[in-house]
Structure 1
Amino acid sequence: MAGRNMFVRRPWLGRISSLIFPVLLAWIVILVLVTKFTARPQVALHVSSAWHRPVIGPYTSTAPAEDSAESIAEVDVSSNPMALVESMAGVHAYAPLQPNILPLYNITIGTCIPLVGCIVDKIDDHGLASGWIRVDKPLRSSSAKKLGKLARVGANPSYWPQVTRALFYRRAYGLDGTRIVDIRSVSDVEAKPEGPGWHKVHVPMRIKMAWNKAPQTYLYFRTATPEEHDKPITELAITYGDNPSLPQFSLAATLSAEQPASHLYARRTVHVHPKTPQPKFHANGTFTILQFADLHFSVEQQACRDVADVGACRSHNDTLALLEQWLDEEHPDLVVFTGDQLNGQGTSWDEQSVISLWLAPIIRRKIPWMALLGNHDAESGFLTRHAHIEFLAQLPYSLTRAGPREMHGAGNYDVAVRSPNADQQELLTLWGLDSGANAKPTLTHPWKGLRYDYIHQDQVEWVLDTMLRRAPAPWPYTPPAQLFAYPPGTNKSQLGPRRLAQDALRNARPPGIMFVHIPIPEAFDAVDHDASGRALISGVREEKHQRLGGQAERGIFAALASVRSNETLGVQLFVHGHMHNNDDCRRIKGTWICFGGGASYAAYGKVGFPRRARVYEVGSYGQTIKTWHRMDNTTDRMQETELET
């Protein structure tokens, strides 16, 4: 009786026990299916977490003052190859942007199972080579698409909620052994590679179920000795869709013809990425910045939005053509991407494939660039915000920095723009701050997504501390040659050595421009007027108060205003993206706030409102700012305005 009563009182035990058996049975079936196709001895690897890239060290404020190389030079391994080999001997993690001359000598395909890890071939190398290194994305785009849409699933396949196939390679410890020099993808119905040195990876690239009759596809790789003088493969990367490869990579094989296609890229010749040139004013006292806002690119080309003829428009192609046109018209000293380069929303499910698309025109022209993350950049894909910004920081000509790790957000950093003279004085500070995505729920706003995120107090304190740590320098800046110049017609013998009157100068910290994706709340405050009563506004504002008017909280604007003085010139201009149909500049409480306007056909806009990019010309060595727009319907400068301080 007691036992029956106990059972009646706990009906949930029966329900749980009825679920456990089918779940365990299904799991056993999955294990049998995925291990059935791996014929050789195997070992399970529990691969560690996301994007195994070297840590980029503690954040150091401002760019270095010294000049840096403009060209990309091949790594010279002939003079002292072992020094570089020894320095790389411990680099046995996947880091595709790090130069590495150590060749790959073996590849295989592993099966990655949730909660288990990846099962790969077990080969005894007698300690002569590194362990298996996993290329951090699935082989098939269909798997990557499902995982990427979940957002920030990370690179650890133990956490991926589906069985996938992944590519693994082994890197040699030295330069004198056999190395991989070619890779091909071949299906069962195609001719197999013939000749010496070819090897087959016996694990197929697709997990084939009994009902799937499609032919299997296998990888083949060719190895050679150093005496054969074939360039070895030193790194591999997977990209999805018809997008450019990472810098220095070339197509090795198409892994899957499904749409979007999966491509395997290889790096053979090792280059050292160029050191990003130190931003400097020109001798005429100018420095030009080109802002691209809200590209909203995806892995696959999406339909154009808010255009008169959708059928005649290709969102990626036509937007990239615009960017190329504006770059060639302006020849900027710096390009700033102010967030939402990626569309998020389930379409930019592999960040790397999209990043290579929008950066290609900039890297090809060797233009220094900065980037911020917007609210959509981390909505889907494999990377956290920090991993995303660290990836951007390692690309050629990038001034992007991850910033202090312990602080709110990813991508809080500053860049110094210096004089072109030997004194290297900092004349302008460019600030990038991460405004996040959605504010966390609070008692007054319990639902996540009701409000946008904002610049938090620790970010504010970091900006003030970093700004005030700069030593004041003579201002306005005068080139050294002018300080010692005589006025025309002066009798030099009577006056002796000449120096500009010091009372015309003062010591001050340089002015700054702050780039933030989501607009600060003050962008919607009352505008200033000049002495004649004219409102200090230039441009159009189509979008007004969106989700309580930009960021959820105030703080950064008032804090910066409080430290502005004759000794601290402070931030003169805030630059925003986010609202694609706003392109205005307005002065509010003595500080200018400008919107870039949407630059992309892949993003929302408005029919009749041209896509545009904003240009900022800082003149007189940092004393003046002029701005104008480039638009898709004219080659003229539009809305040219002097920002009166």
Structure 2
Amino acid sequence: MTRRIVRTSIQLAVLLVTILLIVLFLDNQFNVLPEAIHNALPAHHPGLVITDITVATCSTLNLLSSCKLDQNKWHRVEKDLYLSKGWLSHAFIHIERKRESELKETDRVILDVRIGSLDPVTSEKNQGAERWESRQAGIWLKRTSKHRDADKNIAVTAVDVLFGSDSVEARPGWERTPQALILPDVGGENQGAYLTVRRGPPHEVEKPTLHVNSNGRFKILQVADLHLATGPGLCRDPEPPSKDNGGKCDADPRTFAFINRVLDDEAPDLVVLSGDQVNGETSPDAQSAVFKFASIFIERKIPFATIFGNHDDEGSLSREALMQLTHSLPYSLSESGPTNLDGIGNYYVEVHARGQSSYSALTIYLLDTHGYSPDERQFRGYDWLKKNQIEWFKTTSQELKTSPSHSHYTHHHMDMAFIHIPLPEYRNVDEMVIPATGKQPENPTAPGFNSGFRDALVEEGVLAVSCGHDHVNDYCSLSKSAVGKPELWMCYAGGSGFGGYGGYGGYVRRVRLFEFDMNEARITTWKRVEAGSVERRIDEAIIVDGGSVVAV
């Protein structure tokens, strides 16, 4: 009996070791393990500088080729330069990094990186210890000896990869190379790989504090369903159709031309991105998509807050990774929220009274409505807000109401909420919900299960909630009680991005704005559209007056 146990144990051990070796071999060749298992490049390691950069290329036809170099020397940036779309090839950036205190006399530190097919020394002479050196994929490195690295603020300390001819670098202190890496059979520059580097230590990012303006007003721009791609992307149902470039319509540039115009015209105090910023299926590098939308707000120094839709995490990053990335950026107020709640991105943003007051004038609640139904047999379609999220909202609301910052504020305190997927009450068509502004071309795709969040909003005195998800719905409806008392405004923003569907009879992309007038305890809402009546507000309506919900 003992021999049998020993023999079986040995056989199991041999089998497990064999399986492990096979998995490691396959991962070494084809990167089959999840990225979370790999040692991804951290944004910064204190005291580290980059001493070399190279590219490792492997072929799917040659099982002996490897995309991993010696791990004792090289660190791999876990982004396939072919975005895992190469039929025959994969390629990865590898970097060599060392602590400043461990640099040897023979080590060379990178001061600059360029991409091109020509030697940079044709325009710049190699002088002294600084030399340009060539690497694969058209990379040129300017490296200097340790002794010449007197100014550590110019040494390259971090390296990353972004994708797309329209990609931008949103992180302070980082710079993207103007040219894409030179790779064979990459499929054009629209999704080409670009190196981006940081020099010196990471910049500290301070979170802005929101205040009502000196005129007693605060304006929120809600941008719903950007559906950004890796690269410019292709327009879906563009209206009006593009007349330039042979009728070809690049989705993201046209989307940002619209959003930039609204930002310049309206000058909002806060932008709320209410989900589906990233179009998962066309965005194999979600980081590049995030940086594209964040950069336009960072450039204008406009604070922004994000929640997720059902498509954001269908690309290369999970909800957790997306929120960590967005949270780290300048002017971002985005938060993961309590870890004991369902979802990522359950949090609130306080808007303080005018001046330098610490008193709260407005609370904005943002909650994660998740993605698809966890019980398709009983409740088809989409997921719903969970009990612990609703309890958190109620508890938080009650705690804030009794806090000194709220109770000492002498004016009306007006609260609002933003979600992605509409609540079940959005599809009520009886007299309890009265469509007041805008249109409803498509049936609301609300979850089949009602977890009671609308009632919780009413109980806590929230005046309005606004969502996205259904791109061509752009109405506000008034939810009323059983006795006909107005209780809650429920609004749609309308889809803004050309990477998402439009259709439904020539739908024009749009965004929604909310202006809070604290002097009159009034909320006014309107929309701006991408084409047609571009210079004016449409469907403008006062939905709250004197601190109370009103019928339009």
Q: Is the 8 A contact 2:68 2:76 kept in 1?
A: no
1:469 is aligned, of 399, 417, 430, to 399
Q: Which residue matches 1:557?
A: 454
- Provide TM-score, normalisation by structure 2: 0.77
1:384 is aligned, of 305, 312, 318, to 318
Q: Which residue matches 2:279?
A: 343
Q: Which residues in structure 2 correspond to 1:505-524 (within 5 Å)?
A: 510-524=413-427
- Structure 2 distance, partners of 1:625, 1:642, is 6
CA separation of 1:285 and 1:310: change in aligned 2, threshold 3 A: same
- Provide TM-score, normalisation by structure 1: 0.67
Q: Which residue matches 1:237?
A: 160
- Structure 2 distance, partners of 1:528, 1:620, is 31
CA separation of 1:616 and 1:527: change in aligned 2, threshold 3 A: farther
How far is the alpha carbon of 1:95 from its aligned partner?
3.1
Q: Which residue matches 1:638?
A: 538
CA separation of 1:122 and 1:396: change in aligned 2, threshold 3 A: closer
- Structure 2 distance, partners of 1:232, 1:475, is 46
Q: Which residues in structure 2 correspond to 1:240-389 (within 5 Å)?
A: 240-242=163-165, 243-247=167-171, 248-252=173-177, 254-257=180-183, 258=186, 259=188, 260-268=191-199, 270=201, 272-306=203-237, 307-312=239-244, 313-344=249-280, 346-381=281-316, 383-389=317-323
- Structure 2 distance, partners of 1:29, 1:602, is 35
- Structure 2 distance, partners of 1:472, 1:622, is 23
CA separation of 1:390 and 1:228: change in aligned 2, threshold 3 A: closer
Counterpart amino acid of 2:253? N
Q: Which residue matches 1:494?
A: none
Q: Is the 8 A contact 1:176 1:226 kept in 2?
A: no
Q: Which residue matches 2:70?
A: 121
CA separation of 1:625 and 1:226: change in aligned 2, threshold 3 A: farther
CA separation of 1:622 and 1:544: change in aligned 2, threshold 3 A: farther
Structure having greater relative contact order (Cα 8 Å, sep ≥ 6): 1
Q: Is the 8 A contact 1:94 1:134 kept in 2?
A: yes
Counterpart amino acid of 1:598? G
* 1:420 to 2:420 alignment: no
Q: Which residue matches 1:222?
A: 143
Q: Is the 8 A contact 1:303 1:310 kept in 2?
A: no
Counterpart amino acid of 2:438? G
How far is the alpha carbon of 1:593 from its aligned partner?
0.5
* 1:540 to 2:439 alignment: yes
SS state at 1:165 partner:
strand
Cα offsets for 1:289-331 (capped at 9, x unmatched) = 0111111110122332222424534322221111111001111
Q: Which residue matches 2:36?
A: 49
Counterpart amino acid of 2:390? V
Q: Which residues in structure 2 correspond to 1:433-582 (within 5 Å)?
A: 433-441=367-375, 443-444=377-378, 450-472=380-402, 510-526=413-429, 535=434, 537-546=436-445, 549-550=446-447, 552-561=449-458, 563-564=459-460, 570-582=461-473
CA separation of 1:249 and 1:218: change in aligned 2, threshold 3 A: closer
* 1:400 to 2:334 alignment: yes
Cα offsets for 1:325-357 (capped at 9, x unmatched) = 10011111000111111112x211100111111
How far is the alpha carbon of 1:137 from its aligned partner?
1.6
User: After the TM superposition, which of the residue ranges 282-291 and 360-369 deviates more from structure 2?
Assistant: 282-291
CA separation of 1:551 and 1:514: change in aligned 2, threshold 3 A: farther
Counterpart amino acid of 2:493? G
1:592 is aligned, of 477, 485, 489, to 489
How far is the alpha carbon of 1:444 from its aligned partner?
2.8
Q: Is the 8 A contact 2:220 2:268 kept in 1?
A: yes
How far is the alpha carbon of 1:27 from its aligned partner?
10
CA separation of 1:200 and 1:521: change in aligned 2, threshold 3 A: same
How far is the alpha carbon of 1:622 from its aligned partner?
8.4
CA separation of 1:398 and 1:100: change in aligned 2, threshold 3 A: farther
How far is the alpha carbon of 1:361 from its aligned partner?
1.3
Q: Which residue matches 1:169?
A: 96
CA separation of 1:423 and 1:228: change in aligned 2, threshold 3 A: closer
- Structure 2 distance, partners of 1:266, 1:109, is 15
CA separation of 1:527 and 1:361: change in aligned 2, threshold 3 A: farther
Q: Is the 8 A contact 2:254 2:498 kept in 1?
A: yes
Cα offsets for 1:373-426 (capped at 9, x unmatched) = 111111122x11111111111111000001122321111111111112454111
Root-mean-square deviation (Å): 4.0
CA separation of 1:515 and 1:162: change in aligned 2, threshold 3 A: farther
Mark the runs of 5 or more structure 1 residues left unpaired by the alignment.
1-19, 36-43, 53-92, 124-130, 148-160, 206-216, 481-504, 565-569
- Structure 1 distance, partners of 2:427, 2:27, is 56
- Structure 2 distance, partners of 1:418, 1:225, is 50
* 1:611 to 2:509 alignment: yes
CA separation of 1:290 and 1:175: change in aligned 2, threshold 3 A: farther
- Structure 2 distance, partners of 1:372, 1:335, is 11
How far is the alpha carbon of 1:518 from its aligned partner?
0.5
CA separation of 1:327 and 1:273: change in aligned 2, threshold 3 A: farther
Q: Is the 8 A contact 2:218 2:269 kept in 1?
A: yes
SS state at 1:256 partner:
coil
Q: Which residues in structure 2 correspond to 1:81-230 (within 5 Å)?
A: 94-96=41-43, 102-109=48-55, 119-121=68-70, 132-138=74-80, 140-143=81-84, 145=85, 164-174=91-101, 179-185=109-115, 191=119, 195=126, 196-198=129-131, 220=141, 222-225=143-146, 227=148
Counterpart amino acid of 2:216? G
Number of residue equivalences: 490
CA separation of 1:323 and 1:27: change in aligned 2, threshold 3 A: closer
- Structure 1 distance, partners of 2:493, 2:438, is 10
- Structure 2 distance, partners of 1:536, 1:289, is 22
- Structure 2 distance, partners of 1:250, 1:387, is 22
How far is the alpha carbon of 1:366 from its aligned partner?
0.6
Mark the runs of 5 or more structure 2 residues left unpaired by the alignment.
1-17, 481-486
Q: Is the 8 A contact 2:47 2:100 kept in 1?
A: no
Q: Is the 8 A contact 2:82 2:91 kept in 1?
A: no
How far is the alpha carbon of 1:113 from its aligned partner?
11
